[in-house]
Amino acid sequence: AQSVTQLGSHVSVSEGALVLLRCNYSSSVPPYLFWYVQYPNQGLQLLLKYTTGATLVKGINGFEAEFKKSETSFHLTKPSAHMSDAAEYFCAVSYTGTASKLTFGTGTRLQVTL
Amino acid sequence: DTAVSQTPKYLVTQMGNDKSIKCEQNLGHDTMYWYKQDSKKFLKIMFSYNNKELIINETVPNRFSPKSPDKAHLNLHINSLELGDSAVYFCASSRADGETQYFGPGTRLLVL
C-alpha cells in the first residue's frame, strides 16, 4: 500500500523567502511522485512530477522538487516566495500501470506575508 | 479549450434527492477518474474507468454510480443524497499508463 505524509498543514513565509514544503511517501514499488497546487475555489494544477531519470525536477512558477529514495522524500522548494504562491499544495504518489490511482497527502496551505 | 470540464460547477440540493455530475475530457485520454475532496481538503479516489470499463471502485456506497458512455465522458450519479455527501467532486483524466492526471475545476455539492 502506498501513502503520503505532508508535514505541516500550514506554512507561512515572508515574500521573498525560501519556500519548503515537505512530503514523505511510502510505496512498495518505485513511485511516481507529483505536486499539485490548488488555488481557492479552483481545481488542481500540476506543478511538477517525478517518474524516472533525473531526481531534481523543475516545474512551473519557479518550483522544483528533489526525489530522495534513501529518505523517501519529495520536498517542494522555491527560492523566493511571491504573494501569488499562496494556495494549497498537495503531494501525491502513484505507480505505473493501467488506471493508477493517485494517493494524496493531506495538503499544506502556504501563506505568504509582506 | 478546457481540457477537462465538469457540469455543474455548483449544486445545492435537498437530502434524499438524486443528482448527476457530468465530466468531459478533450485530451484523448483513455482513463478517467472521480475524486472526492472533503471539508478538510482531503482528496480520495472514488472510481476509475479505462476505455469505458470500471477499473477502480474504492468502497464507495452503492448510492454512487459512475457511467461512461464513451471514453471522453464519465458521469457520476448519486441517489438518495445524504448530508455527508457534501463535498467537492473532481473529475480527472490520464493516459492509460496513469502517469499524469489532469483535473477538472470541480463540482461543489451542498446537501441541505
Per mean pLDDT, which range of A88-92, B45-49, B83-87 is the poorest?
A: B45-49
Inter-chain touch A99–B50, beta carbons under 8 Å: yes
Assign A47 to helix, strand or coil.
Answer: strand
Q: What is the pLDDT of residue A41?
A: 84
**pLDDT given at position B79:** 96
Q: Nearest to residue A6, comparing CAs of A113, A85, A104?
A: A104
Separation CA A33–CA A43 (nearest Å)? 19
Amino acid (1-letter code) at residue B45? I
End-to-end CA distance of chain B: 34
Can you read off the three cell numbers belonging to residue A44? 488542481
pLDDT of residue B97: 59
Q: Worst-scoring range by mean pLDDT, B48-52, B62-66, B97-101?
A: B97-101
Mean pLDDT, to the nearest integer, of B45-62?
A: 86
How much is the average pLDDT of B69-93?
A: 95
Chain B residue at shortest CA distance from A97: B97
Separation in Å, CA A20 to CA A74, A78, B49, B64:
11, 7, 35, 38
State the cell numbers at B67. Answer: 457511467
Residue B77 confidence (pLDDT): 97
Task: Give pLDDT, residue B60.
Answer: 87
Distances (CA, A) of B43 to A47, B32, B72: 17, 16, 23
CB contact under 8 A, B90 and A44: yes
Residues of A in Cβ contact (< 8 Å) with B43: 44, 90, 102, 104, 107
User: Which residues in chain A land under pLDDT 70?
Assistant: 96-99
Task: Provide φ and ψ at A75, rounded to 5°.
Answer: -75, 145
Burial class of residue A97 in the structure, from the number of CB atoms within 10 Å of its CB (0-12 exposed, 13-18 middle, 19+ buried): middle
The pLDDT value recorded for residue A95 is 74
Give the residues across from B10 on adjacent strands.
Answer: B108
Cis peptide before B66 (omega within 30 of 0): no
User: Looking at residue B72, what is its pLDDT?
Assistant: 94
